[in-house]
């Protein structure tokens, strides 16, 4: 096959990019070694920034008047920060005139996949042995094998690696620098059958570690708590999960956490990572292939969608003018937001998690964290910083 842009990775980033390119009359082929079913059923984060909602609602993903992200998502005007046994509301609408939407990443995938299918997109899922070649020529290629073992080849003008945190494309970027940060903890994530415990999300700092009470529907909730990275999800009974969550949420204000059967449990990886540049020659990276954030603050998907917005723009210009120089702006423009989001995710993480270590350091950190949280909730300047970052920065 000959196309203009070959996209490796058909998650939300790869699909959104192919949707935006299609709207500009640029042909592309998407390949992914996972099946649609595998992606659709892998639970990820659930919060969309204001501009991510706009990108979905205003670029023709939906038929006009049927914007599922609006009709099926829940608008949240703020979050609760919980510490010292009490909850403090951060009101994004009042502080920055913006809100976020609770709409799971799996639903974003389903919607953009439906749009690409409706528009006749060339999507090839469930393939194997994907490889990229000839990136230093003007005819880069992506090869793969189908389920029957037959070899295929896609020749393109440009290749985009939107292939996630275990990206194979990222190793082909020349002159790369890699920045890492590891954390001495992970998240234990559950889905459970229970009613909501609060109207909005609760980010909790407790002496036993972090906990996050998120939501999915009226009857299914998503929750996370800080755990050891080596924790085995299967070793935790429902009772043990609930007593740990209750211990982290309980307080003198009498807060009640609603319980129910746990229907899914997983331990989530936790790291910060950036690779620069995000482009070399005819290869460009988008989303987790170029950068990973820890989950606190739900920036991963939003950052990937922001990349696709910038990337679609520079690719349109490059292909329209037949001039690759238009791609030069991509890394710098994308990285401005990437580093803001890296800081925001790191900051939310370190403000709310308990780091192991010497007792005297832990005691200091605990009181310092409470000092930080108290100043945040009692200062309009502090709360506004949180509100701006959480609802998302404008795109450069
Ligand atoms: C969810 C995940 C997050 O990491 C977060 O910060 C907020 C919500 C979620 O899955 O609902």
Are the C-beta atoms of 61 and 121 separated by less than 8 Å?
Answer: no
What pLDDT is attached to residue 396? 65
What pLDDT is attached to residue 358? 85
Task: Specify whether 236 is located in the same domain as 385.
Answer: yes
Give the Cα separation of 300 and 341 in Å (integer).
9
Residue 361 lies in a domain: yes
Which CATH number fits the domain that encloses residue 206?
A: 3.30.9.10
In a 10 Å sphere around its CB, with 0-12 CB exposed, 13-18 middle and 19+ buried, how is residue 303 labelled?
buried
Nearest to 28 by CA among 37, 36, 16: 16
Whose Cα sits closest to atom 2 in ligand 1? Answer: 45
Q: Is there an atom of ligand 1 within 6 Å of 391 CB?
A: no
Task: Specify whether 215 is located in the same domain as 301.
Answer: no
Give the Cα separation of 164 and 154 in Å (integer).
20
Ligand 1 centre distance from Cα of residue 202 (Å): 10
Are the C-beta atoms of 49 and 100 separated by less than 8 Å?
Answer: yes
Residue 93 lies in a domain: no
Q: Is there an atom of ligand 1 within 6 Å of 298 CB?
A: yes
For β-strands 28-32 and 122-125, DSSP reports them as: parallel
Ligand 1 centre distance from Cα of residue 214 (Å): 6
Give the Cα separation of 279 and 330 in Å (integer).
8
Give the Cα separation of 45 and 294 in Å (integer).
11
pTM for the model: 0.97
Question: In DSSP terms, which residues pair with 25 in a beta bridge?
Answer: none
What pLDDT is attached to residue 61? 98
Question: In DSSP terms, which residues pair with 188 in a beta bridge?
Answer: 225, 267
Q: Is there an atom of ligand 1 within 6 Å of 50 CB?
A: no
Helix (H, G, I), strand (E, B) or coil at 28: strand
Q: Which residues are catalytic?
A: 76, 203, 295, 299, 390
Helix (H, G, I), strand (E, B) or coil at 194: coil
Ligand 1 centre distance from Cα of residue 142 (Å): 34
Are the C-beta atoms of 300 and 274 separated by less than 8 Å?
Answer: no
Question: What size, in residues, is the chain?
Answer: 396
Give the Cα separation of 356 and 228 in Å (integer).
10
Residue 302 lies in a domain: yes
Whose Cα sits closest to atom 7 in ligand 1? Answer: 298
The count of domains in the chain is 2
Structure tokens at 393: 């920065």
Task: Specify whether 364 is located in the same domain as 231.
Answer: yes
Residue 87 lies in a domain: no
Task: Specify whether 333 is located in the same domain as 293.
Answer: yes
Q: Is there an atom of ligand 1 within 6 Å of 164 CB?
A: no
Task: Specify whether 158 is located in the same domain as 44.
Answer: yes
Probe residue for ligand 1, chosen from 203, 224, 304 as the CB with the greatest number of ligand atoms within 8 Å: 224
Ligand 1 centre distance from Cα of residue 396 (Å): 25
Task: Specify whether 59 is located in the same domain as 111.
Answer: yes
Cα torsion 75, 301, 16, 314 to 10°: value is 120
Residue 239 lies in a domain: yes
Residue 372 lies in a domain: yes
Residue 94 lies in a domain: no
What pLDDT is attached to residue 269? 85
Domain that holds residue 364: 183-270+356-391
**pLDDT string in tens for the chain (396-residue length):** 999 999 999 999 999 999 999 999 999 999 999 999 999 999 999 999 999 999 999 999 999 999 999 999 999 999 999 999 899 999 999 999 999 999 999 999 999 999 999 999 999 999 999 999 999 999 999 999 998 999 999 999 999 999 999 999 999 999 899 999 999 999 999 999 999 999 999 999 999 999 999 999 999 999 999 999 999 999 999 999 999 999 999 999 999 999 999 999 999 989 999 999 999 999 999 999 999 999 999 999 999 999 999 999 999 999 988 889 999 999 999 999 999 999 999 999 999 999 888 888 889 999 999 999 999 999 999 999 999 999 999 876
Whose Cα sits closest to atom 10 in ligand 1? Answer: 45
Which helix (H) or strand (E) segment holds residue 80: the answer is strand 78-83
Residue 157 lies in a domain: yes
Q: Is there an atom of ligand 1 within 6 Å of 105 CB?
A: no
Q: Is there an atom of ligand 1 within 6 Å of 300 CB?
A: no
């Amino acid at each position: 096959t000959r196309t203009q842009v070959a996209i490796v990775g058909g998650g939300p980033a790869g699909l959104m990019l192919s949707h935006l390119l299609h709207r500009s009359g640029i042909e592309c082929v998407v390949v992914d070694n996972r099946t649609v079913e595998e992606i659709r059923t892998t639970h990820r984060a659930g919060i969309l920034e204001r501009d991510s909602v706009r990108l979905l609602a205003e670029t023709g993903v939906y038929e006009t008047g049927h914007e599922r992200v609006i009709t099926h998502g829940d608008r949240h005007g703020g979050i609760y920060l919980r510490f010292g046994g009490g909850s403090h509301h951060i009101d994004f609408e009042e502080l920055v005139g913006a809100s976020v939407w609770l709409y799971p990443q799996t639903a974003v995938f389903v919607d953009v996949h439906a749009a690409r299918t409706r528009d006749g997109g060339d999507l090839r899922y469930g393939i194997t042995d994907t490889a990229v070649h000839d990136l230093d020529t003007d005819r880069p290629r992506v090869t793969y094998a189908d389920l029957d073992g037959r070899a295929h080849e896609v020749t393109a003008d440009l290749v985009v690696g939107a292939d996630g945190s275990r990206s194979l494309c990222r190793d082909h970027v020349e002159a790369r620098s890699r920045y890492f940060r590891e954390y001495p903890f992970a998240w234990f994530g559950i889905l459970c059958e229970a009613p909501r415990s609060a109207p909005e999300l609760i980010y909790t700092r407790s002496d036993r570690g972090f906990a996050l009470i998120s939501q999915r529907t009226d009857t299914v909730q998503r929750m996370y708590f800080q755990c050891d990275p080596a924790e085995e999800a299967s070793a935790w009974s429902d009772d043990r999960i609930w007593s740990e969550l209750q211990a982290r949420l309980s307080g003198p204000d009498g807060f009640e956490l609603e319980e129910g059967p746990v229907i899914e449990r997983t331990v989530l990886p936790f790291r910060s990572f950036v690779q620069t540049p995000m482009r070399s020659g005819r290869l460009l990276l988008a989303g987790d292939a170029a950068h990973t954030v820890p989950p606190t603050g739900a920036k991963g998907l939003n950052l990937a969608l922001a990349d696709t917005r910038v990337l679609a723009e520079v690719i349109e210009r490059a292909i329209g003018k037949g001039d690759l120089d238009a791609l030069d702006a991509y890394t710098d423009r994308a990285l401005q937001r990437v580093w803001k989001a890296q800081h925001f995710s790191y900051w939310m993480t370190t403000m709310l998690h308990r780091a192991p270590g010497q007792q005297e350091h832990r005691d200091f950190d605990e009181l310092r964290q409470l000092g930080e949280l108290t100043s945040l909730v009692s200062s309009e300047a502090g709360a506004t910083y949180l509100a701006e970052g959480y609802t998302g920065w404008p795109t450069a």
